[in-house]
Amino acid sequence: MMRIIIGVLLLLFVQYAIAQEDKEISSQVKIEHLPIPNEQGQLFYLQRDPDSNTIVYALNSDNGAINEDNPVSAYWIRYSENGQKKDLSFIQRSMAYGIRHKMTAPDTFELHIQAYKPLLITLAPHPQTGKYQATVQMKNKKIILDRIFVRIKGGSFFKPNVQYIEIFGRNMENHRKVSHRFSP
């Protein structure tokens, strides 16, 4: 009798695990179906599993002058809630999607996203247009950053299992679209 109970419990556990795996797979978004925001002052944006909600990183300026104390503002566009804009929560700002900055030269800032500090983003005016842009160095090329996508598979709220990060942008020299995928 005990073997039957253990067998039934084991079967239920396996079915539960399979159902969780199906749920996890179905919660991954298709990158090509995600909305593309076009916000005023937008530098780049970040999208991730499990939904289309997007974090926009925009230049924080007043009358054309950059706010040196807070050069980039980050906020949600909650596409799952009719496209409402919302501020990041304290935890999201301080542990995940917030930006740390440091001025490295006049009008030039070093930026780091809280959840992945090794990614160095430089914020500086374009040499010819003077318009601020965010750039990253990928494979010895300077890339104008347009988008970051984070593929998450499982984990927890405070420690998601990040499968990969993909950077999308344009080559600074020839403006061709480029992407680079890496595992953190």
What pLDDT sits at residue 13? Answer: 39
| pTM (whole model) above 0.85 | no
Please report whether residue 157 resides in a domain: yes
pLDDT at 1: 54
Q: Which two tokens stand for residue 19?
A: 């159902």
Q: What are 101's two structure tokens?
A: 């900055």
Host H or E run for residue 19 = helix 2-26
- Give the Cα separation of 35 and 54 in Å (integer): 8
How far apart, in Å, are the Cα atoms of 76 and each of 20, 47, 79?
A: 28, 10, 9
Using alpha carbons, select from 149, 142, 148 the residue that is nearest to residue 176. Answer: 142
Query: Is the pLDDT reported for residue 11 higher than 80?
Result: no
CB 45 within 8 A of CB 1: no
pLDDT at 18 over 70: no
| Beta-strand relationship, 141-155 and 160-171 | antiparallel
In a domain, 20, yes or no: no
For residues 41 and 59, the answer to whether their CB atoms sit within 8 Å is: yes
At 127, the pLDDT band (50, 70, 90 cuts) reads confident
Q: Quick check: is 153 in a domain?
A: yes
- Whether residue 2 lies inside any domain: the answer is no
Query: What's the domain count of the chain?
Result: 1
- Look at residue 6 and tell me whether its pLDDT is greater than 70: no
Question: Does pLDDT of 14 surpass 50?
Answer: no
For residue 48, tell me if it sits in a domain.
yes
Is the confidence at residue 85, as pLDDT, over 90? yes
Q: The domain containing residue 155 runs over which residues?
A: 30-182
Task: Give a yes or no: residue 134 inside a domain.
Answer: yes
How far apart are alpha carbons 19 and 14 in whole angstroms? 9
Give the model's confidence band at 9: pLDDT under 50 very low, under 70 low, under 90 confident, else very high. Answer: very low
- Asked whether residue 9 is assigned to any structural domain, the reply reads no
Does some domain include residue 3?
no
Average pLDDT over residues 69-76: 96
Average pLDDT, the chain: 86
